[in-house]
Structure 1
Amino acid sequence: MDQHGFSEAQDLLHHQLDRPKTKISAKHKYYCDMMMKFRGLATDKSCQKTKTFVHSVSPTTGGLCEGPAVKCVKMSEFYNCHLIIFKVTQCNLYPEAVPPHCYYKGVTFWRDVSVVCMGNHPIHLDE
């Protein structure tokens, strides 16, 4: 799937889309620290505990809101969810981290993620 598949969802995924994955000059372990600060999720006053950054999707995936719907985990019954296979980096705050020193551990892997859709428009990732 090329970038066209994400064009309708780029605003939705602003905080979660990182495609292609941002390369940083420092060691890979600093990816999450940098991304959380860059996206405004780790500040001098607060550290968001977790965030998933999406890098790519399965080449067999069509549009984000196509295919059979599945039950949304965290959203109401007024929405449809669709399972999509994404390559993601999951960033988790270290337990001892406190603002302004927000430090994260990141793990990159392929994962099924529910895309919440209203009609044919993606509006949220149901993490």
Structure 2
Amino acid sequence: MDQLGFSEPQDLLHHQLDRPKTKISAKHKYYCDVMMKVRGLATDKSCKKTKTFVHSVSPNTGGLCEGPAVRCVKMSDFYNCHLIIFKVTQCNLYPDAVPPHCYYKGITLWRDVSVVCVGKHPIHLNE
């Protein structure tokens, strides 16, 4: 498993799937702050700059890698990629945030996301 991707579809689901979207508060103001901490992406020592959480995909990921594919580059290797429209929350670190105070701004929208596949297994969502 490399730092940018996941070796198993279950890893992809664990790190990027949040379906249905976790309810944090009535205003959802702190969704990204909470999710980044819960997923281990914001710690006392580091703050991941950006993360996309997917809300509109079934737990069965088998269909993500079917259909026409395009070649894409991930690191120095070539993979098959599939563009799929997902409902997502994009979490972005505020520019002045530093560990251990990792604060994020989130926006929820429908957008095309590139799914990196090996065979019929999704291993990474390009952010």
For normalisation by structure 1, the TM-score amounts to: 0.83
Amino acid in structure 2 at the alignment position of 1:91? C
Q: 1:76–1:64: structure 2 CA closer, same or farther, 3 Å change rule?
A: farther
Q: Which residue of 1 aligns with 2:117?
A: 117
RMSD: 2.0
Shift of 1:71: 2.8
Which structure 1 residue ranges, 4+ long, deviate > 3 Å from structure 2? 73-78
Write out per-residue CA displacement over residues 101-122 of structure 1, whole angstroms, 9 at most, x where no aligned residue. 1000000000111111111111
| Residue matched to 2:5 | none
Structure 1 stretches lacking a partner, 5+ long: 1-7
Superposed CA offset, 1:12-36 (max 9, x none): 2311110110001363110000000
Say which SS state the counterpart of residue 33 (structure 1) adopts: helix
Identity of matched residues, %: 90
Q: How does 1:1-127 map to 2 (within 5 A)?
A: 9-25=9-25, 27-57=27-57, 63-76=63-76, 78-127=78-127
Give the aligned length.
117
1:123 alignment partner AA: I
Look up the match of 1:3.
Answer: none
Secondary structure of the residue that 1:41 maps to in structure 2? coil
| Contact residue 31 and residue 106 of structure 1 kept, 8 A | yes
